[in-house]
Structure 1
Amino acid sequence: MDRQIYYQKERAIEIQTGFVQRVYNWMGLGLATTAVASVFTASSPVMMQMIFGNPLIFFGLIIAELGLVMALSAALGRLKASTATMMFFVYAALNGVTLSAVFLAYTQASIANTFFITAGTFGAMSLYGHATKKDLTSWSSFLTMGLIGIIIASLVNLFFQSEAIYWVITYAGIIVFVGLTAYDAQQIKAMALQGFGDEEMARKGAVIGALRLYLDFINLFLMLLRLFGRRE
């Protein structure tokens, strides 16, 4: 009996580890796709002029990104795993195209330095979320309210252009996305323990987990870039 329980625990750990690795692999590939699309776009004056010289194209890309995220989150149960995976990578590529604007605003050295700072912070908080015995579910409401507050304040500041509000959003954003990284890492660990009916469901679960971590990383990077980035 004890041996059976031992093997069951070992199997559960194996399944959990495999699922978490799959999530982080997809997330890493998503970031790589964004980086390639961003560098490619920034290196092409024609594309930069086409995208950022025409507000309709730029905001059209932003709307397409939002639509993909909403569709992927809302319709995941009805999508095939292959379709969900394709949508994730299309979103990552579109995000790379729009994020190429950072090459216009910041020096390449500061972008690289901020990326490594983000990677270190993200890695540390992911490890904390995965390893801690503390239930981080109580963080959910605080982080959600903080995220909503950041979105509203950002929209308001489009009209006021207040430097004080800008820096409040920046520091609040760093706190929120650092917290979300740990929270989402723990939630992904819990997803693995819940189990999936088949491989198709497991792949879809991994994609949505990768999307959550991807969004945490990108938004944390953008907030830290405000802090550490050096303007061109």
Structure 2
Amino acid sequence: MYENTYYPQETLRKALTTSFVWMALGLLVTAATSYLCYSTGWYLWMLTSMPMIGLLLFIVQIGLVFAFQSAMQRSTATGIKVLFMVYAVTFGISLTSLFYTNSQAQLTAAFLISAVYFICLAFIGLTTKKNLNSIGMICVIGLTVLIISQAVMLLFGVSFDTRMISIVGLLLFTGITAWDIQRMNKILYLSNGDVVSQEKIAIYMALELYLDFLNIFLYILRLLGYNRD
């Protein structure tokens, strides 16, 4: 049975609103950063000046994730928000390459499809009475296997079907997204009514949803690119 450890609807609604607002702000910062890097030519300049910029950004992003987790215990809600925005900027720089490999129409279509898809998943996560813990964990394990498999295939030069990888990845993030939204209730329950903790949790969940949305967007973009080719 699904354990009813839910917070009052007003508290949950406020936390969800905060999370979705900050997720949207993160996506806006990422999109603006990518467009500026592309339109000003700064991204190409970085690639020329610092050929290892991709690896550097990846390391910085990993460091920010660890810093984010540590800040949940030690920092203020403001500090966590700053880390989230910095992470969104670095991700925006990383995604600038999409402007060189995809048309603006394709990027727009992928974003709109992702938005509708994400809203549907959010609705499912908020309204379903079924406990999605087991589904979420299975999807996380599946995603880990998918990432490792891709790494091994690239290492040994084994070809793989981009379309199939995209479909599998999209299905996995379908489960993870619905699970992330549902589990906010349980995470809020652990805050024991602390307003500051609830704000931190809302920003933490904003980061989770931000990453879920971006991964859904990237997999849908791959599928659109595959169909165009």
Q: TM-score, normalised by structure 2?
A: 0.89
Counterpart-to-counterpart distance in 1, 2:184 and 2:54: 33
Q: Which moved more, 1:191-200 or 1:168-177?
A: 191-200
2:129 is paired with a residue whose SS is: coil
Q: Give the Å deviation of 1:154.
A: 2.5
In structure 2, the partner of 1:50 is: 45
Which whole-Å deviations, capped at 9, do the CAs of 1:75-133 have from their partners, x for residues lacking one?
42112211111000100011011101100111110000000011111110111011001
Instruction: Name 1:120's counterpart in structure 2.
Output: 116
Structure 2: distance between partners of 1:57 and 1:41 = 13
Aligned counterpart in structure 1 of residue 179 of structure 2, from 163, 178, 183: 183
Aligned counterpart for 1:169 among listed residues 158, 165, 171: 165
Structure 1 runs of 4+ with >4 Å offset:
160-163, 193-197
The residue that corresponds to 1:84 in the other structure is: 80
1:24 aligns with 2:24: no
Tell whether the 8 Å contact from 2:180 to 2:209 is kept in structure 1 after alignment. yes
Inter-CA distance 170–98: structure 2 relative to 1 (3 Å threshold):
same
195-204 or 83-92: bigger deviation: 195-204
TM-score if structure 1 supplies the norm length? 0.88
Q: Which residue does 2:104 correspond to in 1? A: 108
Give the 3 Å change call, closer, same or farther, for CA 41–196 of structure 1 in structure 2: farther
Instruction: Say which SS state the counterpart of residue 115 (structure 2) adopts.
Output: helix
Q: Structure 1 counterpart of 2:145, which letter? A: G
The residue type equivalent to 2:118 in the other structure is: F
Q: 1:71 to 1:165 in 2, by over 3 A?
A: farther
For residues 4-59 of structure 1, give each alpha carbon's deviation from its aligned partner in whole angstroms, at most 9, with x where no partner exists.
xxxxxxx91111111111111111111111111111111122x1223333322221
Which consecutive residues of structure 1, in runs of 5 or more, have no partner in the other structure? 1-10
Which one has the bigger helix percentage? Answer: 1
**Deviation readout 1:113-172 (Å, 9 max, x if unpaired):** 000011111110111011001110111321121111122122223334544253332121
The worse-fitting range, judged by mean Cα deviation, of 56-65 and 29-38 is 56-65
Kept in 2, the 8 Å contact 1:68–1:87? The answer is yes
Alignment partners' CA distance in 2, 1:85 and 1:93: 13
CA–CA separation in structure 2 for the residues paired with 1:162 and 1:116: 33
Q: 1:12 to 1:197 in 2, by over 3 A?
A: closer
Matches of 2:93 and 2:204, distance apart in 1: 21
The CA RMSD measured in Å over matched residues stands at: 2.0
Q: Does 2:125 match 1:144?
A: no
One-letter amino acid matched to 1:41: C
The aligned amino acid for 2:47 is F
Cα contact 1:41–1:97 (8 A) shared by 2:
yes
The runs of 5 or more residues in structure 2 that have no matched partner are 1-6
Q: Secondary structure at the match of 1:133?
A: coil
